[in-house]
Structure 1
Amino acid sequence: MHIAVTPLSLELGLLEQNVERNQQFKIVNKSGKTYHIRLTFDQRILGISSFANFATEGTGWSQIFPGVKPSLVTLPTQFQFPIRREMVLMTGTISSSSQSIEHVLTQAEKGRAVCVILGGAEEALDSHPDNFDLKLSSRKGFVKLALKTGSDLVPVYNFGETSTFRQMKNSRGTKLREFQSKFKEIAGFSPPLFMGRGIFNYSFGLLPYRTPINTVIGKPIPVKRNQNPTQDDIDRLHAEYCAQLTILFDENKTKYGINSDAKLNVY
């Protein structure tokens, strides 16, 4: 299923963004409640696709997933500034603290989907066209939350996000990457050196390039509630999630202009 974006804002108007849902996706689980943790990969500079999909109606969320209310997750610092805080709250976005996520998945009304952007600041530094490196092997907090709340895990991949900007070459091991990683350790965020387009030109600026982004939402991985998961439980579910994400990528990559021999590199 595809829903084309209409230009809700300048940002969305610059892009053509589509959402594809796995045909086996079911809205309501056996208990009659729907609680999902959707793990989306942007490899992004600004996270355009996740915001458009999960914080606006720009891609027709309510038509594709009727009865499911999404909550995009962002850093707690986004709520510390007046006016900006109110703007973020208007989109239904929540804090990335475990307390906020657990509240939505256990105390809020049924039919909720928490949308987490994995990878973080380090993955933003990998945002280059034709680069499919994902920092995921050491990130297992979302798995523990899914087990404790009994929330299904849903793999999501945004094809085309890495082409919205151009970033200076900074492969791991280079001096620039070492500086960026050290800066991230000290300040908590990374300083990607990137360039996009301008309002009246296509050569330089801070707006995203006009490029298609296709978000593919996979089949949910059923999760049985376990309030005291062992490390083996967490590792097993994490491995299953990584496997399903890789399958999602491989099954859809050629449809969106990626070579058939391209591999998803989880590190």
Structure 2
Amino acid sequence: MISPDTSVVLPGPWPHPPVFPYLVTRLVAALYHVMVLPTIGEEALLAVAISQALANELDTCLVLGPDRCIYLTNGQCRLSSSIPTDGILMTGSLKPSRRVSAWMPTDATYPARVAILAESISSHPVSGAIMGDLTKGGRQATAEDLTRLGGLDAGAPGVPNGLVLCPVCHEYHGECLDPSPVFQGREMTVHCLCDNGNRCARCGGRLSERKLNANYYKPADGNIWHVPGFAALGHQCVPGDAMVS
């Protein structure tokens, strides 16, 4: 099953505007959040990008110029000459740390670059709907998987084999075969509430109730539900100590 928040209507794809330096955060496969950064040193920019990526736990790219960027994925940094060039863009939802925000007024070019980005986004009409990962990140189960995970847990009626109850949040997590006939024979990874590490870089609060671009098991209906990355767009900063970069 797919979360009710799986689709959202947004403008169509276009080339990224030249507002270097900036961060691109992948929300889902075709939707990217762009954050214009102050023109500080490259070492400081990389520190900002790493801090943002660690907080959000989403694939991130620091774009330094038309042919220079650093991808931050799976805890690794990779220098590349191929910058992100298309996709559906949005801005203003993911927040930088308060330290980064404090640098922005000191950069004379910052307002103009933000205006260029905003104009680029607003000048493109709505063209359709964005969907989350319709495969829910699953993979075709092997014969061994089908034997190991087939059926239901004898100790927990209705619960697929492979899922275990978290002693902290009391939700199920693990790997199992999807019980939905739509995803028959596909192995899914299921996360509990404790697995949610997607946080706001400004306030430290969770970007969504559940882990983004991930699945959870709902005992009430016996289905595995997918939470798309753009569920983060509903985040509102909470009071408390800010995470800084």
Greater fraction strand: 2
Greater gyration radius? 2
From the two aligned structures, give the one with the greater helix fraction.
1
- Scaled to the shorter chain, the TM-score interval is under 0.3
TM-score for the superposition, normalised by structure 2: 0.24
